[in-house]
Amino acid sequence: MNVNQLSQRLALVAGFLPKGAYFADIGSDHAYLPCYVCLNDPEAKAVAGEVNKGPFDSALNEVKKHELHDRIDVRLGDGLEVIAPDEMKQIIIAGMGGPLIRDILEKGKNKLTSVERVITQPNIDSRSIRKWYYENGFNLVDETIVEEGGHIYEILVAEKGNPDNAYQNLQEDFQKQLWLGPFLLQQRSSAFIQKCREELDKKVYVLNQMKQATAVNQEKLNMINQEIQWLEEVLHS
C-alpha cells in the first residue's frame, strides 16, 4: 500500500472528513491516511500520532517524501496525549481493536472539547465503541462496512450531540443495535450480511461448546442465544 493506492478501507475512512479538515490520525503508522488527505485537499492539515518509534519514523519519512511537513505534524506519544485540548476538529483512530480505541478515547476525553467528529475503524468489537460514544455524548451519525482482503471492517462516525438520535426502539432493540450497528442494520449491505453469517457460525460453535461443558454459565448462555436470534432475524428478513 502507498499514498497513491490507499486501501479501500482507509479511503472510506478519509471520505468521512469534511473539506479543509484539521484532524489527528492516532496510530498513524506510515501516515498514509493524512498524506493522502492533504495531497487531495490543499486546505487540510493534520497531526499524525504514533506511540511506537518505528512507525513514527516511517510517518516522518512519508511526510518528508511528499513535502507535507508544514501541514502534517508527526508527533510521538500515547493516544490523544499528542494533541492539546481545543486543538483538533476531527479525530481518526483506525486499524486497532475496538477496546483499544475505546481506551484511547476514554483516556484522552479532555482533549475532545473542540472535536466535532470522531471517525473510528475497529478491527474487532465495534460494540465497545458504540457504547463509548453513547455514554460520552457522541451521536453516531453514520456507519459503513467493507470487505477487503478477506477481512470485514466497520467504520463508525460520531459527532457531539444527543446519542439517542441514532437508535430506534431504545427499549427493545437497543442492545442489538449497539452490537450490530443501527445504520448497518438499515443498510443491509452484502459485507454486513457476510459478517452476520460469519458471526452466526461462531456463535453456534460457542453455544455447542458451552452445552458440552460441565458447569453452565446461564447468563452467558442466555446472551449467546439472544445474539443467535438477532443474527437469524437479520439473515431471514
* Least distance from ligand SAM to the Cβ atom of residue 123, Å: 8
Kindly indicate which of the ranges 23-31, 148-156, 171-179, 188-196 contains the residues binding ligand SAM, using the contact rule CB under 6 A: 23-31
Nearest CA among 132, 191, 139, 194 for reference residue 164: 139
Of 101, 183, 92, 98, whose CA–CA distance to 143 is shortest? 183
3 state SS of 128: helix
Q: How far is the CB of 105 from ligand SAM (least distance, A)?
A: 11
- Scan residues 71-110 and list those touching ligand SAM (CB under 6 A): 78-79, 94-96, 104
Residue 51 sits in the site that holds ligand SAM (CB under 6 A): yes
* Other residues' Cβ atoms within 10 Å of the Cβ of residue 162: 9
How many angstroms separate the CA atoms of 101 and 30, rounded? 18
Q: Which of 17, 35, 55, 63 binds ligand SAM (CB under 6 A)?
A: 55
Q: Minimum CB separation from ligand SAM for residue 135, in Å? A: 20
Residues in contact with 150: Cβ distance below 8 Å, sequence separation at least 6, in sequence order? none
- Residue 29 interacting with ligand SAM (CB under 6 A): yes
Tell me the sheet residues that pair with 117.
90, 159
Size, binding site for ligand SAM by CB under 6 A: 16
How many CA within 13 A on the CB side of residue 62? 25
Site string for ligand SAM, 158-187 (x = CB under 6 A): ------------------------------
Which residues would be at the binding site for ligand SAM (CB under 6 A)? 10, 26-29, 49-52, 55, 78-79, 94-96, 104
